[in-house]
Amino acid sequence: MIHFQHVSRNYGNRVAVRDLDLSIADGELVALLGHNGAGKSTTIKMLVGLLRPSAGTVSVCNHIVTEHPREVSRLIGYVPDQPYLYDKLSGREFLEFVADMYGLSSTESQEAIERESQRFELTGFLDQLAESYSHGMRQRTVFAAALIHLPQILVVDEPMVGLDPHSIRLAKDLLSDYTRIGKTVLMSTHTLSIAEEISDRVCVMKLGELVFDGKVDQLRKEISGAGESLESLYLALMED
Amino acid sequence: MRETAPHLEQLFERLPSHEREGQIFWKLRSRMGRNHLNYLLTQARLRTSLVIGLSTFFWLGLFVLFYSGFNFVVGQLGQPGETYHAQTVQFVFTLFFVSLQVMLIFSTGIILYGSLYSSQETAALMTLPIRDERLVFYRFQEALFFSSWGFFLLASPMMVAYGIVVHAPWYYYVYLPALMASFTYIPCALGAIFCLFLIWGLPRLRRIIVGLFALSVIAVAYHSIWRTLDIADADLLGAVWFRETFHRFEFTRGEWLPSTWLSNGLLEAARPQSPDPADLPWVESGKYLIVLLSNALILHLAVLWTGRSWFRTSFSGMNSQQAREIRPRSAWIDRISEHLLVAFPKKTRLLIMKDLRLFRRDPVQWSQFLIFFGLLLLYFANVDRFRQHRTDISVLAWVNIVSFLNLAVVGLILSTFTTRFIYPLISLEGRRFWILGRLPVERDTIIWGKFFFAACGSWLPSAALVMISDLMLDVSPMVVVVHQLICLLLCIGLSAMAVGLGALMPNFSDQSPSKIAAGFGGTLNLVLSALYILVVVFLTALPCHFFLLAGHTEIPPKLLRPNFLRLWLSLGLGISLTVTCLVTIIPMRLGLKAFRRLEV
């Protein structure tokens, strides 16, 4: 479903992502881990079409992102680390705008808004202007917008930042449930406990390179003696 | 659940058409506009009334000015259709429109650059299945609106006044909006294409190229104006001067310039029909409209094409640049400032230095400061024509009035800066208040630090500008002293008002200084500042004015006795000083009190 083939990306002289080869299949929940500046956000931005690779190709369902950005956008729902909403629109108006852009009919749009507002418990503030929303309310609205068209792939950059425990529970359940219906989730996070709890596979990046790609059990076997938790394994991997 | 290729194709086919995308954006704008209007009418009535009132006042003022000007032209040069009238008005129109044309290119390019390449909204929209050309066009529409409203505000009173003065036929008023709108589109589209090309082709050199282009435009304009005015006074406004000036600005009347098409279209529409039945002014004007319209439409297609071809690549290119590293050692300006601030207590000095560093590392702040003060400097450096005819009392009186008007202009521009940049300072500390709050610094010191930063920072350039104006006008030493004193009072009063009201009415929910300044507190600060400037300048300008007239006019000598005038001037200065004390002490006391109790 998602293929990164020999993908590199530079910022001036600095290499942010180096020769990345990564494939993610249907129904997988993959957690992308790494220190700050490891290249996680750059990888995600190349996937959603915000950045072009300096070398290599990124494709989604056999569509190369740089050649078919619009088609790829239809297949992806993206939740950025900093949610953007129009201050002078209510949550409902924003969701209607996004649904319209995905080509949903009026009836489909209303059904989808109802579905997502139930799922993310938005009903209490959906008709207020977004300028009055807290960070958590914004994040939940952006989650709803990313899922309004039930995308084949959900890409989430730091999903738990600023969320309260209840919203974190909501988000975790959502991500797990979403892969159960055959959809794919790529999540970049620093919250290792959540990555361990819900992901099928973890990919660890270090200084722009993919240094591990596999299940947590596999990592335990590779780094024996570092401990059982993903946190201790991750830290041991980073120290190498 | 594996997605099959035909299933995906069905999904793609359901994506909105080009037209539908346009309708969705239109709906978005309508909803945002409606919600914003609701907000303005319910929660920002004062600001809305002020903006509407001042805009109407400005429009009417310009209308009266242009009406009188065109009446003078018609009185001197005859009605449209006569040779001198046509030449003079064409000269004025083309010069006016060509200047605005260049400004529209720049302003659209700069606004579009900000909204396309450094906007969170654009990045969010890029992740939706929106065509790149539609996205660029959506942002271009905003840039078009924001860069051209000033053009309409300036040009519409001029054109309406001209139509009324020359008794233009009804179709002049029908053509007018169409001609202006299609003209505006052309430089704005060129600015957009230029912006996209620059970021796509030469992202690293963008600042240098725009800077060089701006400098060359300023150089050409300055050189032309300088040569026009740099002649002996006896020849000024004479036939030879007019002919030379007319030829010197030949380049503004090039047949390939949209500004020429616009002015020709307007002149054709305004002129009366000649006895020749084949001569139809409305047809001639219509031809120019068609030329403008067809060019605007071609450029519209060019904007879409460049958006589709260049935008995504250029966006990625812009975001590929390595972040600039700031050298940790202090800059020369910091070292000089530290020496200049040596009289302040150490803690206050450190706080001032912090604000100074934030100011100089934010080009949005200092570039606006530089542009406005630079323009004033250019103007003040060229007001020395009044130095001739020094013996004529009416000229002397004008010199005095202009010198005080210059002082008021410096004050009014300073008040916009204190509202835009100083007033939001306390609000902007909100989210980082824990830094200052945890430091062993008294809260009062923070407020005083901001006050001294604002007062000292504004006093140096303002005093220098006022001094240049006075030297160029060659006013009397007494007026120079009065101006410098008033300038100092204005800097203190305006800074205290901005800092005090900013602390009294902080807004911690917005992170944008412009939004904070546009709120109720900012608007109140601006209005009070303007009133304060007018009061202080008026109180001192009037006695100085009569002092100059003493002995030269027929005003009853009793009123112009030196002792009486000296008393009047002293009283004026005394009241100005008292008003300054009030506008300094009251807002600062209220601000300090509110800041001491502040809980973030």
Counted across chains A and B, CB pairs separated by less than 8 A come out at 105
pLDDT for B438: 73
pLDDT for B1: 47
Search chain B and give the residue with CA nearest A133.
B509
Cα separation of the two ends of chain B? 50
In the chain, the amino acid numbered A230 is L
Helix B83-117 with B132-165: angle, nearest 10 deg: 150
Rounded to whole angstroms, how far apart are CA atoms B43 and B54?
19
pLDDT for B383: 65
The contacts of residue B516 (CB under 8 Å, 6+ apart) are B423, B424, B427, B428, B507, B510, B522
Q: Is the dihedral of CA B97, B98, B101, B103 positive or negative?
A: negative
- Per-position pLDDT tens, chain B of length 600: 455 666 788 888 889 999 999 999 999 999 999 998 998 888 778 778 877 888 898 899 999 999 999 998 888 877 777 777 878 888 889 989 998 998 899 889 988 998 898 888 999 999 999 999 999 999 999 999 988 888 888 899 999 999 999 999 999 999 999 999 999 999 999 999 999 999 888 776 777 777 787 788 777 777 776 666 666 555 656 677 777 777 777 888 888 999 999 999 999 998 887 778 788 888 999 999 999 999 999 999 999 999 999 999 999 888 877 666 666 566 777 788 888 888 888 888 888 888 888 887 777 677 777 777 777 787 777 666 555 555 666 667 777 788 888 889 899 889 988 988 889 888 887 767 777 777 777 888 888 888 998 998 889 889 999 998 888 888 888 889 989 999 999 999 999 999 999 999 888 777 777 778 877 788 889 889 989 999 998 888 877 777 766 656 555 556 667 777 778 888 888 999 999 999 999 999 999 999 888 776
Q: Which residues on B lie below 8 Å from A26 (Cβ)?
A: 1-3
Q: Which residues on A lie below 8 Å from B12 (Cβ)?
A: 71, 74
Selecting from A49, A103, A152 the residue whose C-beta is nearest the C-beta of B126 gives A49
Search chain A and give the residue with CA nearest B320.
A11
Search chain B and give the residue with CA nearest A155.
B127
When divided into structural domains, chain A yields a total of 1
Please indicate whether, in this complex, the C-beta atoms of B127 and A49 are within 8 angstroms of each other: yes
Rounded to whole angstroms, how far apart are CA atoms A199 and A202?
7
Please indicate whether, in this complex, the C-beta atoms of B320 and A70 are within 8 angstroms of each other: no
**Shortest distance, CA B171 to any CA of chain A (angstroms):** 40
Buried b / exposed e over A95-109, threshold 16 CB at 10 Å, is bbbbbbbbbbeeeeb
Cβ of residue A98 closer than 8 Å to a chain B Cβ: yes
**Shortest distance, CA A236 to any CA of chain B (angstroms):** 30
Please indicate whether, in this complex, the C-beta atoms of A73 and B3 are within 8 angstroms of each other: no
Cβ of residue A29 closer than 8 Å to a chain B Cβ: no
**What are the DSSP E strand ranges found in B150-214?**
none
Search chain B and give the residue with CA nearest A46.
B316
Selecting from B27, B36, B121 the residue whose C-beta is nearest the C-beta of A84 gives B121
Q: Which residues on B lie below 8 Å from A84 (Cβ)?
A: 120-121, 123-124
CA within 13 Å, CB half, A143: 31
Selecting from B2, B14, B36 the residue whose C-beta is nearest the C-beta of A26 gives B2
Search chain B and give the residue with CA nearest A25.
B2
Instruction: For residue A129, give the DSSP letter.
Output: B
**Shortest distance, CA B512 to any CA of chain A (angstroms):** 13
Q: What is the CATH number of the domain that holds A174?
A: 3.40.50.300
Mutate to test the interface with B, among A65, A97, A137, A183 (most CBs of B within 10 A): A97
Q: Which residues on A lie below 8 Å from B124 (Cβ)?
A: 80, 84
Cα separation of the two ends of chain A? 31
Cβ of residue A78 closer than 8 Å to a chain B Cβ: yes
Selecting from B14, B128, B315 the residue whose C-beta is nearest the C-beta of A98 gives B128
Cβ of residue B17 closer than 8 Å to a chain A Cβ: no
Q: In what order do the strands lie in the sheet with A55-60?
A: A14-24, A2-11, A55-60, A63-64
Search chain A and give the residue with CA nearest B19.
A101
Q: State pLDDT tens for residues A3-51.
A: 999 999 998 888 999 999 999 998 899 999 999 889 999 999 999 999 9
Give B1: exposed, middle or buried? Use CB within 10 Å, 0-12, 13-18, 19+.
Answer: exposed
Please indicate whether, in this complex, the C-beta atoms of A86 and B121 are within 8 angstroms of each other: yes
Cβ of residue B41 closer than 8 Å to a chain A Cβ: no
Q: State pLDDT tens for residues A105-131.
A: 999 999 999 999 998 889 999 999 998
CB-CB contact of B320 with B415 (8 Å): no
Residue with tokens 């992806």: A76
> B559: helix, coil or strand?
coil
Please indicate whether, in this complex, the C-beta atoms of A10 and B320 are within 8 angstroms of each other: yes
Search chain A and give the residue with CA nearest B126.
A50
Q: Which residues on B lie below 8 Å from A11 (Cβ)?
A: 320-323
Residue A158 structural domain: 2-239
Selecting from A61, A82, A98 the residue whose C-beta is nearest the C-beta of B8 gives A61
Instruction: For residue B387, give the DSSP letter.
Output: G
Q: Which residues on A lie below 8 Å from B7 (Cβ)?
A: none
Selecting from A82, A101, A183 the residue whose C-beta is nearest the C-beta of B16 gives A101
Give A160: exposed, middle or buried? Use CB within 10 Å, 0-12, 13-18, 19+.
Answer: middle
Please indicate whether, in this complex, the C-beta atoms of B11 and A88 are within 8 angstroms of each other: no
Q: Which positions 553-582 of B are in contact with A (Cβ < 8 Å)?
A: none
Q: Which positions 296-315 of B are in contact with A (Cβ < 8 Å)?
A: 312-313, 315
DSSP string, B286-309: HHHHHHHHHHHHHHHHHHHHHHHH
Overall pTM > 0.90:
no
Q: Which residues on B lie below 8 Å from A129 (Cβ)?
A: 35
pLDDT for B200: 87
pLDDT for B16: 93
Cβ of residue B153 closer than 8 Å to a chain A Cβ: no
Which of the given ranges, A88-97, A172-181, A230-239, B322-331, has the highest pLDDT on average? A88-97
